[in-house]
Amino acid sequence: MRGHAFHVRHWGREGAPKLWMLHGWMDASPTFQFVVDALERDWHVIAPDWRGFGLTAWNSGSYYFPDYLADLDALLSLHNPQAPARLVGHSLGGMVAMSYAGARPERVSRLVSIDAFGLLDIPPEHAPQRYRQWLQECAQPPGFAPVADLDHFASRLMRRNPHLTATRARFLAEHLTGISADGVRRHLADPRHKMVNPVLYRLEEAKACWRAIRCPVQWILGGGASDHPLTGKIRQTLHERAACFHELEQLTIADSGHMVQQEQPEQVAAAIERFMAPTRGEAP
């Protein structure tokens, strides 16, 4: 698809109402397992691994945000060709879903964005330094250290997300890593995702997409401390960002940080199901 090999995870019954789940940066589709386990309705959950993450093929070069929109468009055309889609996205996945819903409003019926509210606006004068850094990283691409011990990897996840249980942390450690071609266990992600993006983030462009969304949107916020470096500054401007949406519901879940769907999956699942409940006569 689009000249790329994609891995798409499915849960539930074929023919049930479709519910798409789009993972965040440095994650993969299994990070929604706990939410899926907590769902009570009959759903067909579809969760792709973005390019360069999980079991999807890597790029031969850098990664750019518009590719995620084109990938989602192609995936929906393949798996959800007739009816508008219900999209759930966390972090990067939420930003992709919101931009896509503005670009193709007719293709999205409802949208849940989990701790994803855009990034900080970057002034144009930062461009020369960004390009210099990107050029240096192209010449010397980053890498990942081997994962020597799954329990250590799991403990790191728990330190960053204090409401994550040990059992769930171990599951994530096992599914976010894999044995590479050289026989070493590594993070299942292309380390080139760590490269600086030479294309500056323009908040006004994102806002223009959000204003074009026509479906109901739900924001789920983690109510506790977060290790995400941009969370505090972005949340200072949430009211300005929220004003872009025609129909927006905001929900804060206590005892959770940026990884809300991992720390409080039962509450996230309940919120999604209430918001996404199929209406009479709605196509699956």
Which pLDDT score is estimated for 279?
65
Confidence of residue 43 (pLDDT cuts 50, 70, 90): very high
229 pLDDT above the threshold of 70: no
Which pLDDT score is estimated for 113?
98
Mean pLDDT of the chain: 93
Residue ranges with strand state E in 51-125: 85-90, 108-114
Q: Which range is most confident: 82-86, 168-172, 220-224? A: 168-172
Relative to beta strand 217-222, strand 248-253 is parallel
| pTM (global) more than 0.85 | yes
Alpha-carbon torsion (153, 155, 160, 162), positive or negative: positive
Task: Name the maximum alpha-carbon separation found in the chain.
Answer: 56
| Cα–Cα distance measured from residue 242 to residue 26, given in angstroms and rounded to the nearest whole number | 26
Q: Are 114 and 271 in contact (CB under 8 A)?
A: no
Per-residue pLDDT tens for 175-224?
999 988 788 899 999 999 999 999 999 999 999 999 999 999 999 999 87
Per-residue pLDDT tens for 99-124?
999 999 999 999 999 999 999 999 99
Which pLDDT score is estimated for 183?
83
Identify the residue whose tokens are 């589709």. 29
Residue ranges with strand state E in the chain: 8-12, 18-22, 44-48, 85-90, 108-114, 177-179, 185-187, 217-222, 248-253
24: helix, coil or strand?
Answer: coil
131: helix, coil or strand?
Answer: helix
